[in-house]
Amino acid sequence: MALRAGQLAATALSEAHSGEIVSVFCSAVNLLLDSDRLIALLVPNGPIHPWAIDGVWWSRNIRIEMPVQIDSGILSIDRFKLRTDDIPIIDLHLKKKSSGVAVESIRRLGDVVGVFEFENVFGSALSNCLEQCRNTGNVTSIASVLGVGTGLTPSGDDILVGLLAALDLTSEESHGYRNILTETSAGTLISSNEPETESSSSRLRKNLVSELPSSLRSHTTILSAQMVEAAINGSYPEPLVTLANVLVDSNGEEELICAANAVARLGHESGRAMLSGFFLGLETVVTSRGKQSSHI
């Protein structure tokens, strides 16, 4: 299988660096560079994310704390060599956005999410926060789950990534109007309608981001902080991008469930948390717009 690179990983590997291996798994090797950036080398069909190189087969002698060197476009780990300067870069931004995601598709997605949320795989703290957000529509409360959970990417952070993706997906430019009340010097209130180009999803997303700490790394793991930073800037794991495209294209139920399950399979619990956050975002947008039609 051909190599592929997430844009942020490719950028980090484009300059000379040293570093070391910090973890080795069956499907991934994680490198920490002297730039304090963590890069994942994934086996074929990893699947790719913004900070990963996908399609790598490494030698069996690679282990934790082995030194890493990047120079002249070559990544070296002991006798293992990988040319990084000509790997195709994958754009993991949402190219398709829509304020018209069918509510029926969101309901079907909710059926997938409901299976593992019912099993309470996230623990009470995260489950309670999700429930509170659904009841109040206040997505900024989800900022409080940053760093909550265990592993390389705590579940709270994965929920944030999914939520940011959903609000990004539905942030298509608004063409409506908002009512403005202006007080005159005589104390009279004058009502007027002004064009509104920023969608409610965009406002919700900005509010959520504003509630996150400026230094994410002081609240969570390095990789997880990088993934949340990438999501803030509109770049996501490939299965989440695929699911967003399926929703915009209004594809059939089978394709939707297949795409949702591909997200759910990411990591141990990461994908399920990400999918919960994504569904929560879509639910919130539906509620905030208050429409009763079959589309957001």
Whether residues 12 and 107 fall in one domain: no
pLDDT more than 90, % of the chain: 59
Which of 90, 111, 138 is the last residue in one of the domains?
A: 90
Q: Say whether pLDDT at 117 is over 70.
A: no
- CA gap 118, 238 in Å, rounded: 26
Which tokens belong to 26? 């069956």
Whether 81 and 113 map to the same domain: the answer is: no
Residue 103 to residue 119: CA distance in whole angstroms: 24
37-46 pLDDT tens trace: 999 999 998 8
Considering the domain architecture, whether residues 112 and 10 belong to the same structural domain is answered as no
Question: What is the pLDDT, as a whole number, of residue 86?
Answer: 92
The better pLDDT of the pair 290, 16 is held by 16
Q: pLDDT (tens digit, 9 = 90+) per residue, 154-209?
A: 999 999 999 999 999 998 754 444 445 555 666 565 655 554 457 889 999 999 99
Residues 18 and 59 in one domain: yes
Q: What's the pLDDT band for 29 if we cut at 50, 70, 90?
A: very high
Average of pLDDT values for 62-68?
95
What SS3 state is found at 28?
strand
DSSP string, 146-174: TT-SSSSS-HHHHHHHHHHHHHHHT-PPP
**What local confidence, expressed as pLDDT, does residue 1 receive?**
58
Same domain membership, residue 161 and residue 222: yes
List the single range of 8-12, 89-93, 156-160, 246-250 with lowest mean pLDDT: 246-250
**The pLDDT value given to residue 103:** 83
> Tens of pLDDT along 208-235?
999 999 999 999 999 999 999 999 999 9
- DSSP count for the chain of H helices, then E strands: 9, 11
Per-residue DSSP letter, 255: H
Mean pLDDT of the chain: 86
What is the model's pLDDT at position 183? 58
Q: Domain ends where: 60, 90, 120?
A: 90
Q: pLDDT value at position 17? A: 96
Classify residue 95: in a domain, yes or no. no
Question: Position 37: which residue type?
Answer: R
The per-residue pLDDT for 37 is 96
pLDDT band, residue 277 (cuts 50/70/90): very high
- The pLDDT score that the predictor gives to residue 179 is 47
With b for 16 or more beta-carbon neighbours within 10 A and e for fewer, the 98-126 pattern comes to bbebbbebbebbeebbeebbeeebbeeeb
**How many domains is the chain partitioned into structurally?**
2
Residue 77 counted as domain residue: yes
Instruction: Examine the fold and report which residue of 90, 117, 150 is the final residue of a domain before the chain moves on.
Output: 90
pLDDT at 50 over 70: yes
